[in-house]
């Protein structure tokens, strides 16, 4: 009816946070699209980095082709490994052949030991004061002692003197009895074998006589015959055969056979084959339909270039090609035949391949090379997109914050209107009931 007042709330059941979240989600669609583009470029960079890594591994294997330890590799076989063990130290210097070796004497160090034993290694020996002198390699090492010294303190003084003066000898206490009935003896031994490392002991007091110190082992060189020739060593390791080292365990005879070892060059070529096939699979997958680098067929030129450089090995049937898979494989039978019957020519071929392939691969593997430029371009694109993402994110945050403030103001106005409505109702009552 005329004159009726009716004030209602502006908004009821308003969920501000839910609405703001929905608006933010809509506004963030562009950010999600940019992030998707960024991920695609990052995936491309990962693929390029993987290809570059394969090429570097391939180049490293190629460089091993001309490494002397690969080219001149030899193996050694010992007929009686109980007598000695042998290793090739320089394959370029050791000659193939058979060596008859007889170990007639092992190298030993000088050893003095006390005949007398003592139940307490820390008890005073009651020695007359004096000086124990160890003479070795033209040097004299003096150890002063007195009546307070025990077996242990005398050993400690000997070791301290040796350490302070770089003496090649040491003292130790050995129990030749049991734990319940100990019998301690002093042992002074050289730390190096060989006749040049012998030593003598003299004494101005009575330590030698009280201990009963005697020489129980002379320092001597190791001795052997190699194909009837006498050789010596101050240790049990002999290096008399150029490029070969053998270490004796006991006296006795054995035969060493040194022969060409094809395994290192075979392993190197197999590694080249493996990396090439890995490169083929990666390039085919990633540049084909659905690949991360779909359409980047320029990368196939890298594969073709490597294939061309390997052509001499295809001609020699050392490497075979499978047209179906695009893979290559190593023909070890042909390789071994070439190494045995035509090793020099094969090595020249491999050296040429190594030089040509290294030159070909350098632009792709070196710092700031072709593939590095790819990745730098991708990095630049990723950063540009990130700048757009940061800008758009900031804009969305500003818009959401503005809307939030507007909604808060709207709710405050609603609260004020509700309050006014309530006061009007309280003042005038419900006019429609009159």
382 and 322, same domain (yes or no): yes
359 and 325, same domain (yes or no): yes
Please identify which residue in the block is written with the tokens 């150029």: 242
In the chain, what's the furthest Cα-to-Cα distance?
141
89 and 166, same domain (yes or no): no
Confidence check: pLDDT of 14 > 80? no
Q: Is 216 in a helix, a strand, or coil?
A: strand
Confidence check: pLDDT of 431 > 60? no
85 and 136, same domain (yes or no): no
The 10s digit of each residue's pLDDT in 308-329 is 999 999 999 999 999 999 999 9
Question: What is the reported pLDDT for 9?
Answer: 38
Q: Band the pLDDT of 8: cuts 50, 70, 90.
A: very low
Residues 6+ apart with CB under 8 A from 102: 224, 225, 252, 253
Structural domain ending residue among the three candidates 183, 201, 217: 217
Q: How far is CA 413 from CA 10, 19, 111, 427, in A?
A: 9, 18, 106, 21
271 and 418, same domain (yes or no): yes
Tokens found for residue 19: 């609405």
The 10s digit of each residue's pLDDT in 173-191 is 999 999 999 999 999 999 9
38 and 183, same domain (yes or no): no
**Domain assignment of residue 237, given as a range:** 74-107+222-260
432 and 295, same domain (yes or no): yes
Please identify which residue in the block is written with the tokens 């990666």: 282
133 and 163, same domain (yes or no): yes
Strand order in the sheet with 244-248: 84-88, 244-248, 237-238
Sheet strands (E) in 41-105: 74-78, 84-88, 97-105
Number of structural domains (the chain) is 3
Question: What is the reported pLDDT for 423?
Answer: 84
What average pLDDT does the chain have? 90
150 and 40, same domain (yes or no): no
Sheet strands (E) in 116-251: 130-136, 139-145, 169-175, 184-190, 199-203, 213-217, 222-226, 229-233, 237-238, 244-248
206 and 268, same domain (yes or no): no
CB 189 within 8 A of CB 110: yes
Q: Is 190 in a helix, a strand, or coil?
A: strand
CB 54 within 8 A of CB 279: yes
Residues 6+ apart with CB under 8 A from 250: 82, 83, 103, 106
Question: What is the reported pLDDT for 408?
Answer: 78
Q: Band the pLDDT of 418: cuts 50, 70, 90.
A: confident
145 and 234, same domain (yes or no): no
Sheet strands (E) in 249-293: 252-260
CATH classification of the domain holding 402 = 1.20.1330
292 and 144, same domain (yes or no): no
Strand partners, 200: 135
């Amino acid at each position: 009816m005329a004159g009726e007042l009716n004030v209602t709330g502006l908004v009821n059941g308003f969920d501000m946070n839910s609405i703001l979240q929905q608006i933010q989600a809509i506004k963030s669609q562009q950010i999600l699209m940019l992030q998707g583009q960024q991920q695609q470029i990052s995936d491309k960079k990962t693929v390029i980095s993987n290809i570059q890594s394969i090429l570097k591994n391939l180049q490293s294997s190629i460089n091993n082709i001309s490494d002397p330890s690969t080219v001149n590799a030899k193996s050694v076989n010992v007929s009686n490994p109980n007598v000695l063990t042998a290793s090739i130290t320089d394959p370029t210097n050791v000659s193939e052949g058979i060596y008859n070796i007889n170990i007639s004497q092992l190298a030993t160090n000088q050893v003095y030991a006390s005949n007398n034993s003592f139940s307490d290694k820390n008890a005073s020996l009651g020695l007359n004061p004096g000086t124990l002198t160890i003479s070795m390699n033209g040097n004299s090492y003096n150890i002063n002692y007195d009546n307070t010294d025990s077996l242990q303190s005398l050993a400690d003084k000997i070791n301290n003197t040796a350490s302070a003066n770089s003496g090649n000898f040491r003292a130790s206490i050995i129990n030749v009895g049991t734990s319940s009935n100990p019998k301690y003896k002093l042992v002074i031994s050289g730390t190096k074998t060989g006749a040049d490392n012998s030593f003598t002991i003299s004494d101005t007091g009575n330590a030698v006589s009280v201990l009963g110190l005697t020489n129980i082992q002379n320092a001597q060189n190791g001795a052997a015959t190699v194909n009837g020739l006498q050789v010596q060593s101050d240790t049990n390791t002999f290096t008399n055969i150029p490029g070969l080292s053998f270490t004796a365990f006991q006296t006795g005879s054995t035969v060493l056979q040194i022969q060409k070892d094809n395994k290192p060059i075979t392993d190197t070529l197999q590694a080249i084959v493996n990396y090439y096939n890995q490169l083929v699979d990666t390039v085919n997958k990633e540049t084909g339909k659905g690949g991360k680098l779909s359409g980047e067929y320029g990368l196939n030129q890298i594969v073709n270039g490597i294939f061309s450089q390997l052509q001499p090995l295809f001609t020699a049937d050392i490497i075979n090609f499978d047209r179906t898979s695009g893979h290559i494989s190593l023909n070890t039978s042909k390789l071994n035949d070439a190494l045995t019957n035509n090793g020099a020519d094969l090595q020249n071929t491999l050296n040429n391949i190594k030089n040509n392939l290294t030159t070909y691969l350098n632009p792709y593997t070196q710092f700031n090379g072709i593939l590095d430029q790819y990745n730098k371009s991708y990095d630049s694109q990723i950063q540009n997109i990130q700048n757009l993402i940061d800008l758009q994110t900031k804009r969305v945050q500003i818009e959401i914050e503005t809307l939030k403030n507007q909604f808060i103001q709207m709710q405050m106005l609603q609260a004020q209107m509700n309050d006014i409505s309530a006061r009007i109702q309280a003042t005038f009552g419900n006019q429609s009931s009159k």
